[in-house]
Amino acid sequence: MRSDSAKKGFERAPHRSLFYATGLTPEELERPIIGIVNSFNEIVPGHVHLNKIAEAVKAGVRIAGGTPLEFNVIGVCDGIAMGHIGMNYSLPTRELIADSVESMVDGHAFDALVFIPNCDKIVPGMLMAAARLNLPAIVVSGGPMLAGRYRGRDVDFITVSEAQGSAQAGLITVEDLAELEEVACPGCGCCAGLFTANSMNCLTEAIGMGLPGNGTIPAVYAARLRLAKQAGLAVMRLLEKDLRPRDIITPASVRNALAVDMAIGGSSNTVLHMLAIAREAGVPLDLDTVQAVSDSTPNLARISPAGESRHHMQDLDEAGGIPAVMGELLSLGLIDAEPACVGADHIGDLVRGRSTGNPEVLRPACDPYMATGGLALLWGSLAPEGAIVKQSAVPEKLLKHSGPARIFDCEEDAVAALVAGSVAKGDVVVIRYEGPRGGPGMREMLAPTATIAGMGLADSVLLLTDGRFSGGTRGAAVGHISPEAAAGGPIALVYEGDVIEVDIPGRLLELKVDGTVLEERRRAWSAPEPRIKEGYMARYARAVSSASRGAILD
């Protein structure tokens, strides 16, 4: 066992004395040491219950003959961090999580690992660590929050975000907003729609690193605790078989995960994270591959924020969850059944024969919402390295659009202009210098999209950025434009009133300005001063790569 290097032999007597100081017995030290990597904290709704999940995991490990030892990692709540300096730190915590897990695991010679994440950057950060360390490992998330209920309808965090825009526009009262905000998020779990956290927890299943139900079983259900115990049992089987993350995360399983992503219409941020996870696993992945999977995969679900039905994660769970999604795709030959997974010898063993249990929530493969996936990659003179849009959440009339650019060099200026009523129907709002380097940290910008939706402009205003959008975004919002403005990308050269053309079905994003004019503008352009000049974020800005490469650290 790997842990023998820290506990066996005459020369390890000092080490054993420290293990005994924690309350361990000699019998426990004889067993495999299983690291329980927990992101529990008391500020994030998705994490406040993870101590209970961890106890269930540890019970499973002990039943199977292992010794579980828990340590914690950080976790930022994107919702609480949204709209202020906190959001600069959200994406960069992904790298901090991966690095800190590596440090703890290699520092203490664990034999195998159970990862307990929830919420946006924690899931990919832990998957990156699993791939990097390549020890037998399994992921069991804390699960999604239930939808709230407001005046007879299901609501969620995004409902509140959009309602604040409606309140600013005078469309609802302050009292209405206050009533809504108290009931929208009824308890623990990651926010109830198919936002980034739930998208990544679903893809963890699809890629083979989580057991069936990992992405969809609600946080408050007893089934979530049973799943955690099963994960504790499963990690011991993985250790016995010596099945490791790089045996599971392969080109075939990555394509499976991308196909599920397109079928359910996951967050646009999933592409950013899949690029980073694949890199850690040594799997080649680029945006062309993502687009190819999207072009061949039908969109089968419209979970909040997509569509008008406002279905939530509990509805997808009741419809059969990710096994049903994968079963439907397998019927079309769009899933590879052979990759290994943590719950069976092959992923096909878990999904073969599964189908939707509710066609209103999860459509059968023969009757999709769209013939292509929920996400689309765009290229063109404004985005030579690509951009991304959640096309399943775009109003039909904005799938093709041409309009004048309204230029804002930060999120706050754009929101102020929207609230002031100075953005007109047909405008193309451009928010730049919000990329990985320029932000720094590539802030999610829920406030502009929610304000646009709340003010009734979602079907008439297009929003573009080199930053990111929340997984809860709906409307015509194109993000990850690369190269970013801070790197001198074409988005830095757009002037007020320039015509921008977007053709989502045609995968085009064009700046309709003559090349010679752009060259003159480039000669006059100079990089702005960094917004944060010291500490972690300053170091991050100097080392981070383009969004087209996953915003990884070089």
Residue positions annotated with a catalytic role: 470
Helix axes 174-183, 157-168, angle to 10 degrees: 170
Ramachandran category for residue 105: left, alpha or beta (phi over 0 → left; psi -120 to 50 → alpha)? alpha
Characterize the bridge pairing of strands 462-465 and 477-482. parallel
What sign results for the dihedral spanned by CA atoms 466, 125, 307, 175? negative
Integer Cα distance of 502 and 510 in angstroms:
6
Three-state SS at 339: coil
Burial of 519 (0-12, 13-18, 19+ CB in 10 A): exposed
Q: Residue 273 forms beta bridges with which residues?
A: none
Integer Cα distance of 471 and 451 in angstroms:
15
The amino acid present at 96, given as its one-letter code, is: L
Host H or E run for residue 38: strand 33-38
The amino acid present at 294, given as its one-letter code, is: S
b/e per residue 34-71 (b: at least 16 CB within 10 A): bbbbbbbbeebbbbbbbebbbbbbbbbbbebebbbbbe
User: Residue 475 has what DSSP assignment?
Assistant: S
Strands (DSSP E) contained in 95-205 are 112-116, 137-139, 148-150, 153-155
Strands (DSSP E) contained in 42-144 are 67-72, 112-116, 137-139
Q: Which residues contact 203 (CB under 8 A, 6 or more apart)?
A: 215, 257, 260, 261, 266, 270, 274
User: Residue 527 has what DSSP assignment?
Assistant: P
Closest CA to 528 of 430, 434, 413: 434
Q: Are 393 and 473 in contact (CB under 8 A)?
A: yes
Integer Cα distance of 362 and 402 in angstroms:
33
Burial of 533 (0-12, 13-18, 19+ CB in 10 A): exposed
Integer Cα distance of 178 and 156 in angstroms:
14
Characterize the bridge pairing of strands 33-38 and 112-116. parallel
